[in-house]
Structures are given as C-alpha cells and as structure tokens.
Amino acid sequence: LCSFIRSPKDFPKLKNDTFLRAARGEETEHTPVWCMRQAGRYLPEFRETRAAQDFFATCRSPKLCCELTLQPLRRFPLDAAIIFSDILVVPQALGMEVVMVPGKGPTFTEPLKEVEDLLKLRQKVDVTAELGYVFQAITLTRHSLEGRVPLIGFSGAPWTLMSYMIEGGGSTTMSKAKSWLYRHPEASHRLLRLLTDVVTDYLVGQVAAGAQALQLFESHAGHLGPEQFQDFALPYIRDIARAVKSKLKEEALPLVPMIIFAKDAHYALRDLAHAGYEVVGLDWTIRPQEARAQTGKDVTLQGNLDPCALYAPKEKIGELVKKMLEGFGTQRYIANLGHGLYPDMNPEHVGAFVEAVHAHSRHINKH
C-alpha cells in the first residue's frame, strides 16, 4: 500500500466524513471517535515495524509513517487517522538536535540555556526543505487510506515546543522553561513568535499535502497558570488559527477544521472556545456538562475519557462511554481519550472503546 509517492491531486473520494461533519458542527448519525496515539506501542505490529529503526529515522520515512498510521485502522472502525509523526520535528527544523533515548524519551543534545542561544536557531525556515518528509508521508497516507476516513495533521503549539527546547526533554515542573518567562519575557516572546511562524507554515504545508483536519497540541498548558497562559500561550494559539486560515484562503487550499488541545487548561476553556478553532479538545479532568457550559454552542468538543479507563473490564468501558456520551450529547462532539493511549494497553480494550462509542451514540440518536 505505502510504496510510492503520488501527487497531492486526484485523492480518492472520502467515504466516511462523520468526523469532519462533527468538527464543523453538522449533524451525524453516530458520534465519531479516534484516539490520540492510536498509532502506538500498544499494538504488537507497531512494535514490530518500529523495532529495527531509530525513532526519528522512522519519522523521516514516509513509507513507515504511512504503514504506522494505517495499522490501527486495520483493527478498529475508527473515524479518523492521524499521521504518525512527532511534535519535536519542529525544533529539529530550527536546527536543534533531538535524539530518542530508550527509557528516557526525547532528549535535546544542546538545549537552549541562555538568551544568546536563540541566535543558533534558523531564523527563516523553509518547511518544505526541512519537513518535506512529513508532507510526503501525508500525501502517501491520504492515497493509501483510499478514502476510508479523513487524515489529521498536527503540530505542537509554541509554548509546548519552547518548554522542550529549554528543558532538553520531559520535566515534571518545567521550571527551566518557566524561568525564561519570568526572567527573559522579551526573548521568550521572540522564540514563541519564531515558533508560531514555523508552525503556521508547517500546518499549511500539511493541508497542501492532503491533511483534512489539523490538531494543535498545547500539551504543557497545565504548567502555566491563567496569567502566564494568557501572556505566553493563548496569543500564539490564536495567531496560528488566524494565520493558517488566511494562508489557506490565499493559496486556494481547503479550509480544514482545526482542533486545539490544551491539556489541563480548564481555566482557559472560555478563551480557547473563541480562539478561532472549530474543535476544543479536553483532558479527563473536567466534567462534560461543565465544559459545554464554558465553551458555548459554537464549537465542537473532543475528548475526554481517562486513558486509564481502558484498563477496566470491557463492560465497564462500555458503561463509562455511555455516561460520557450522555454528558456531552452525541452531536457537536468527537469521542476521544483525555490524552494518548499508553504502551501497555490491551488493543481489545481500545476496540471495545471504539465500538461502545458507535453503539451507544446510535442508540441515543434513535431514541
């Protein structure tokens, strides 16, 4: 399937557009469902495909990204595919070296320590030259999907990328990155602006390559309080939505729905609902009714089952899904987990989750 690159023209006709209709706020027969990290280590076939390769080498192989993206769709009747890639390809495009260290995760060989280090970053990034492999993976996957479901492209949001670039990897406190916001606010804004420009071009390039929706991951929103989020995250989240849409129009590209997922930022849900995105993704720490009340009627919500619920017996997963659907309602809603799947999860339980969403939402819609 994933053997050759074709042009981003003549894509196969889409057969299941439930996810796109829900994202745009149109009526759907069932609630669409997909999972963050659905292409992941919980699948034995994923581990097998990945075994021989370095992680970022895999990200740079359009053929492997295509194969990994399609794997979960061979098992489960998901309503969307999300391209296999990583948010840290953006810092790589800026000239930083990131390696995947077994047991530790992504690690920057030389994180940003001083303001002067910003000068080492590429100030103008040609996304096609630096990230063309992602665009090729998207085009190839879109053809290989044969119109089965829409393909989602994504990027990390500026604050989340900045935090990795300064911390040099994961962190429980983000104290190094946050110290920049207090000590070097101007330099922080300079970096966030640079990241915003690159992310904008990157997302537009993904649509040109064939992505039918886009998700922006502000995974480290929870490390900021409301004020810092207001200063250092929200303005750039807004700018990206605005700039992407205006560039898509300029380049006569499809205006695809955009999703903002700011983990643990329930203090900002009202603002996020008005940030220019069609869909607001939610983690598991907020009640559906509360999220609806805060975001209003004009955005679609996505989420928010606790990923650990998939460790429960299958019947229990069904009950939790039913309760979640009753809380959100079946319309203007995309079912998902409140974060990504974990590597030790049972694929059968993922299947039970997907099937429960379809079955319960159809039943609620009928009655």
pLDDT tens for each residue of the chain, 367 residues long: 666 666 667 999 999 999 999 999 999 999 999 999 999 999 999 999 998 889 999 999 999 999 999 999 999 999 999 999 999 999 999 999 999 998 899 999 999 999 999 999 999 999 999 999 999 999 999 999 999 999 999 999 999 999 999 999 999 999 999 999 999 999 999 999 999 999 999 999 999 999 999 999 999 999 999 999 999 999 999 999 999 999 999 999 999 999 999 999 999 999 999 999 999 999 999 999 999 999 999 999 999 999 999 999 999 999 999 999 999 999 999 999 999 999 999 999 999 999 999 999 999 999 9
SS3 74: helix
SS3 41: coil
> CA-CA distance, 160 to 156, in Å (whole number)?
6
pLDDT at 103: 86
List, in order of start, the domains of the chain with CATH numbers: 20-366 (3.20.20.210)
Number of residues that this document lists for the chain: 367
From 366, 284, 367, select the one nearest 328 (Cα to Cα). Answer: 284
Catalytic residues: 37, 41, 50, 86, 164
Helices (H), the chain: 18-23, 44-50, 55-59, 62-75, 89-93, 127-144, 158-167, 175-183, 185-209, 226-232, 234-250, 269-273, 288-295, 314-328, 347-366
Residue pair 31/357 in contact (Cβ under 8 Å)? The answer is yes
> CA-CA distance, 260 to 312, in Å (whole number)?
28
Extract the tokens encoding 330.
């079946």
pLDDT at 133: 98
Angle between helices 62-75 and 127-144 (to 10 degrees): 40
Partners of 258 in beta bridges: 214
Residue pair 193/120 in contact (Cβ under 8 Å)? The answer is no
Longest dimension (CA), the chain: 63
Rounded to 5°, angle at Cα 304 from 309 and 308: 20
pLDDT at 178: 98
pLDDT at 52: 82
> CA-CA distance, 71 to 78, in Å (whole number)?
11
Name the phi and psi angles at 340, rounded to 5: -75, 165
SS3 312: coil
Element (H, E) at 335: strand 333-337
Q: How far is CA 111 from the centre of its chain?
A: 24
How many Cα atoms occupy the beta-carbon half-sphere of 246 within 13 Å?
A: 7
First to last CA, the chain: 41
> CA-CA distance, 331 to 301, in Å (whole number)?
9
Extract the tokens encoding 358.
């379809």
> CA-CA distance, 252 to 223, in Å (whole number)?
38
For residue 341, give the DSSP letter: P
> CA-CA distance, 348 to 344, in Å (whole number)?
12
